[in-house]
Amino acid sequence: MLKAENIVSTTCPYCGVGCNLQLHIEDGFIYRVTSPFDSVVNHGNLCVKGRFGYDYIYNKQRVTTPLIRNTRQKPGERSQAFDRSEWHEASWDEALDYAADRLVEIYQRDGAKAMAVYCCAKATNEDNYLLQKLFRALFRTNNVDHCTRLCHAASVVALQMAVGSAAMSNTSAEVIESDVFMLTGSNVSENHPIIALQMKKAVQKHGAKLIVVDPRRIEMVDYAALYLPIKPGSDVPVFSAMAHVILKENLHNPQFIADRTENFEAFALSMEKFTPEYAETISGVDRQLIIDAARMYATAGKSAIYWALGIPESTHGTANALSLINLALLTGQIGRIGTGLNPLRGQNNVQGASDSGAMPWHYPGYQAVDREENAQRWEKTWNIEAGGLNRQRGLTTTEILSAVHPGGVQALYIMGENPMMSEPNLNHTRKKFEELEFIVSQDLFINESSAFADVFFPAASFAEKDGTFTNTDRRVQRVRQAFPPRGNARADWQIICDIAKRIEKRLGRAQTAYWDYSHPAEILAEMGSNVPDYAGIRYAAIDKTGLQTPVPTEGHPGTPYLYTNDFPRGRGKFHPLEYVPNAEMPDEEYPFVLSTGRVLEHWHGGTMTRHSWMDDLFPEALMEINAVDASGLGIEDGSPVRVTSRRGSIVLRAKVTPKANPGVVFIPFHFWEAAANILTTDAVDPQAKIPEYKAGVVRIARAFDSELTGAVPAQQRGRY
């Protein structure tokens, strides 16, 4: 029996819940993970990833020494190198000098527009702050983005338009205070498992009523009072029809509307056409269910709305999110405990990476880059000459790759992300990667994107570095180094400082923007000096329990729920809405709608979980399809199928399940063997630039076993 002698408290690196962990360690090996039962975030509960998913740290394929490609890659002929024989090991000095030389060469030749960076929602606030600082302060570009663009960008844009903020307004555990809560576009029991436990408890033990609006018959439907099985992309008609009913039946809150909102008349007028009958024809949801849901939501004492990526990942994602925000403003179900608007953030630190300025339109703290006073503030902090910072909005994640062409983006720095799995329309993404002149990858493994790189910086895992993550309910929590990085790997913030100094020297800058930090705490303090929401956060204050932003001053207790007295923009703004169909609608050639997403056992592009024993639990991609659709196609459970969209085609096994509603199939996007994003469309929301991952159209045909890539023996799992 191992004695629990070395236990390190830290924060889970997987989803946005931000569970508190205790890593039990023997000689640098995590053999057991527990969680304190008095944790305010997860009350001692964890999911399979949080409890068991750390063996990737020790996977033999992990890269722990800097690598440089053997042959110089030419734009247009760049290839993927998964095999280590195509790389040579280098010292840190050699790798950093090489990368700095090439980046500076491109910058001095082509200027700021040639430079771009993908920051990382898995890395710490400090890592992200520094990487955006590097590109803004040294390369004078705002081409800084991360995967929030592919997840909640439309929610952020909509919330900023309507209330002036961009985060969950409640604490996750507050769901037990709600009388009614509506869950839409969120398979919460797989994607935010601990929040799902709190929701189940709210229903089973606290008498809350749950309304589920989702195109899949997810597990939470078992706990729902009402289930509205909408067709993908019919969110605006359904939620607007709820608003229509609330207005017609005088269930709105005139006092709240008068005191706290604006633009009500124009909004109310635009809701006229959204009758339940009209919404039924578009969404396929029985009109009576829409009426019942409207009454239930509006008449409850405390109602809250929770949503995830089913809402924003759409070409009308901003409108989808606005249709939810309108409901909260209309009924005044916001600003009190148990009421509010809650976009469940996906990654462990997507909230923090956004707060830290890993975004093309904002400096840290959502300070618009095109506002002079913001630029001046950061010029002062970073010792940059007046007018030195770029005032132009940068390119978003999706735009960065589209801009790869002569005269456009030439050099890409990727920290921890895997766009070759996570971008839509991967065949297009691949071509763009091939055209890049220089790629730096900073990661743990040679994943599908790093394989394209010229130089690879081996980074430390979450257990090998210090820092902070900000979870979905805005709680800033400590990440602690449990043991030194494996091999020659180094913490991201140290790598960034080292390359920044080299770049600064080569550029011959008169003054340094400052890169001599001795600990991440100093980095957070620098950020906090210009970001009011983080101004009061000190490592000592979050040693045991994290604080929820805004934390404006030292000693401030944090802010569990938002908008008690006013909204950050003053009044909440109603937005009139119109129904806009998806970029692609099913037709005879492509009769099925494809939704993509995650499964419980895996994480996004799979860099972590597919190098873990988690892969033994869920070893291959499965396409979920309804029994009626399956029998129409002559498909049985486990049959190989070829799924084809206008962009590409993959082969995988079918999973016949009642979780899929007729006409809609679902494929997780973790598996390179059958990458769902080969199929997805890169059509984006015009305001938020977020792609429509949740509603491409496909056709499905039987395939042969021999066409499967990386097939494994079928595994029986009870939970599906």
Partner 1 sequence: MSEIINLTIDGKQVAVPPGTTILAAAREAGIEIPTICFHEATTSNALCRICVVEVEGARVLVPSCVAAVGEGMKVQTQSERVIRSRRTILELLESTVDLSEAPEIQQMVVDYQAVNDRFPQAEERQSLPIDDNPMYLRDYSKCILCWRCVQVCAEDAQYTFAINFSGRGYETQISTFYEIPMPESTCVFCGQCVGVCPTGALKPKRQWLLELGRTPDEIMDLTRGERRSRRRRVEPDVNEQA
Chain positions 628 to 667 lying near partner 1, rule: CB under 8 A, are 642, 644, 648-651
Question: By C-beta, is 288 or 427 nearer to partner 1?
Answer: 427
Closest to 197 in 3D by CA, of 17, 324, 14: 17
C-alpha distances in Å from residue 367, one per residue of 235, 347, 359, 394: 30, 22, 10, 13
Within residues 689-718, the interface with partner 1 by CB under 8 A covers 707, 709-710, 712, 715-718
The kind and range of the H/E element at 262 are strand 261-262
Report residue 702 CA to chain centroid gap.
33
Name which position in 6, 40, 58, 402 contacts partner 1 (CB under 8 A). 58
Report how many residues bind partner 1 under the rule CB under 8 A.
Answer: 71
Question: By C-beta, is 46 or 123 nearer to partner 1?
Answer: 46
Name which position in 174, 615, 682, 692 contacts partner 1 (CB under 8 A). 615
Span of 9-17, 111-119, 197-205, 498-506 interacting with partner 1 by CB under 8 A: 197-205
Within residues 59-88, the interface with partner 1 by CB under 8 A covers 59-61, 80, 82-83
Question: By C-beta, is 472 or 644 nearer to partner 1?
Answer: 644
The terminus-to-terminus CA distance of the chain in angstroms comes to 35
Q: How far is the CB of 5 from partner 1 (least distance, A)?
A: 13
Q: How far is the CB of 193 from partner 1 (least distance, A)?
A: 7
Name which position in 7, 52, 295, 512 contacts partner 1 (CB under 8 A). 52
Q: How far is the CB of 27 from partner 1 (least distance, A)?
A: 8
Question: By C-beta, is 225 or 337 nearer to partner 1?
Answer: 225
Phi, psi of 581 (to 5 degrees): -65, 165
Q: Say how far apart CA 472 and CA 349 lie, in whole Å.
A: 8
CA atoms within 13 A on the CB side of 528: 21
Question: By C-beta, is 203 or 294 nearer to partner 1?
Answer: 203
Q: Say how far apart CA 545 and CA 164 lie, in whole Å.
A: 27
Span of 45-53, 256-264, 272-280, 534-542 interacting with partner 1 by CB under 8 A: 45-53
Phi, psi of 504 (to 5 degrees): -60, -40
Verify binding: residue 483, partner 1, rule CB under 8 A.
no
The kind and range of the H/E element at 227 are strand 226-228
Give me 395's structure tokens.
């390119």
Verify binding: residue 55, partner 1, rule CB under 8 A.
yes
Asked whether 421 and 443 are in contact (CB, 8 A), the reply is no
Question: By C-beta, is 321 or 600 nearer to partner 1?
Answer: 600
Name which position in 239, 363, 382, 672 contacts partner 1 (CB under 8 A). 672
Question: By C-beta, is 231 or 610 nearer to partner 1?
Answer: 610
User: For residues 238, 239, 244 and 249, what is the CA-based torsion angle, rounded to 10 degrees?
Assistant: 110
Within residues 203-222, the interface with partner 1 by CB under 8 A covers 204-205
Find tokens 């900023």 and name the residue: 160
Asked whether 252 and 333 are in contact (CB, 8 A), the reply is no
Span of 41-49, 68-76, 225-233, 267-275 interacting with partner 1 by CB under 8 A: 41-49
Name which position in 395, 652, 678, 698 contacts partner 1 (CB under 8 A). 678
Closest to 475 in 3D by CA, of 173, 54, 123: 173
Question: By C-beta, is 295 or 642 nearer to partner 1?
Answer: 642
Q: Is 257 helix (H, G, I), strand (E, B) or coil?
A: helix
Phi, psi of 200 (to 5 degrees): -60, -40
Verify binding: residue 27, partner 1, rule CB under 8 A.
yes
Q: How far is the CB of 461 from partner 1 (least distance, A)?
A: 14
Within residues 553-612, the interface with partner 1 by CB under 8 A covers 600-601, 610-612
Q: Is 546 helix (H, G, I), strand (E, B) or coil?
A: coil
Name which position in 63, 154, 197, 459 contacts partner 1 (CB under 8 A). 197
Q: How many Cβ atoms are within 10 Å of 568's Cβ, its own excluded? A: 15
Verify binding: residue 272, partner 1, rule CB under 8 A.
no
Name which position in 7, 32, 393, 539 contacts partner 1 (CB under 8 A). 32
Convert 510-529 into a string of H (helix), E (strand) and C (coil).
CCCCCCCCCCHHHHHHHHHC
Omega within 30 of 0 (cis) for the link into 485:
no
Q: How far is the CB of 187 from partner 1 (least distance, A)?
A: 13
Asked whether 331 and 252 are in contact (CB, 8 A), the reply is yes
Name which position in 419, 619, 668, 696 contacts partner 1 (CB under 8 A). 619
Question: By C-beta, is 554 or 705 nearer to partner 1?
Answer: 705
Q: Is 59 helix (H, G, I), strand (E, B) or coil?
A: coil
Identify each DSSP E strand in 647-717 by its residue range: 649-656, 664-668, 696-702
Show the binding pattern over residues 331-370: x = contacts partner 1 (CB under 8 A), - = does not.
----------------------------------------
Q: How far is the CB of 717 from partner 1 (least distance, A)?
A: 5
Verify binding: residue 426, partner 1, rule CB under 8 A.
yes
Identify each DSSP E strand in 72-190 by its residue range: 87-89, 115-118, 144-145, 180-184
Question: By C-beta, is 197 or 389 nearer to partner 1?
Answer: 197
Q: How far is the CB of 66 from partner 1 (least distance, A)?
A: 22
Q: Say how far apart CA 127 and CA 417 lie, in whole Å.
A: 13
Give me 361's structure tokens.
């339109």
Question: By C-beta, is 426 or 497 nearer to partner 1?
Answer: 426
Question: By C-beta, is 293 or 674 nearer to partner 1?
Answer: 674
Span of 23-31, 523-531, 538-546, 653-661 interacting with partner 1 by CB under 8 A: 23-31
Span of 239-247, 525-533, 588-596, 669-677 interacting with partner 1 by CB under 8 A: 669-677
- Please name the amino acid found at residue 225: A
Question: By C-beta, is 27 or 516 nearer to partner 1?
Answer: 27
C-alpha distances in Å from residue 561, one per residue of 20, 305, 323, 551, 566: 20, 14, 21, 12, 12
Within residues 431-460, the interface with partner 1 by CB under 8 A covers 448, 451
